Amino acid sequence: MTKNVEELPYPIKASKEITFIFYNYNNIDKLIEDRRNTIIEKMNGSTAAWLKALKQDSNSFEDIIVRLDEDSVINRLKHWKTFLLSFFNILKNYKETIYYELIELKYFKYLENEEIMKNY
């Protein structure tokens, strides 16, 4: 018994995230860089802050590096990129390439459903 995709039970939040990642797949590196810059701007990484960190807990350069390394948004985007790269390679090499072609038309070439249907 096959169901329509719209009828499958899955969280709306997951659907929104997957759609966002698909549409922004080519911009994931820029999203990561923007997030890094935001973290760096929020932290005072000056020399005075580094000297102050010697005596007390402060925003030293080490703190910035640790925060960048442990940031959940950056790590999530990196995992998504790795996963989708593998997923797209599998679809490209699959015996029926229609799945990859549909994803490419919808999310990389930004065609509407009606335009995609005209091609198939």
Give pLDDT tens digits for 49-83. Answer: 556 656 665 556 777 788 888 999 999 999 999 99
Q: In sequence order, which ranges of the chain are alpha helices (DSSP H)?
A: 12-23, 28-42, 47-53, 61-70, 72-93, 98-103, 113-119
**Residue bearing the bigger pLDDT, 116 or 62:** 116
pLDDT (tens digit per residue) in 19-54: 899 899 999 999 999 999 998 888 765 556 556 656
Mean pLDDT of 87-108: 87
* CA-wise closest residue to 29 among 84, 102, 67, 70: 84
Six token digits for residue 60: 């030293």
Q: In 3-state terms, what secondary structure has residue 7?
A: helix
Six token digits for residue 57: 């807990």
pLDDT at 1 over 50: no
Cα–Cα dist 61/107, whole Å: 38
Tokens 């990859």, residue?
100
Contact (Cβ atoms closer than 8 angstroms) between residue 64 and residue 40: yes
Domains in the chain: boundaries:
23-119
pLDDT at 9 over 80: no
* pLDDT computed for residue 10 by the predictor: 62
Cα–Cα dist 45/114, whole Å: 51
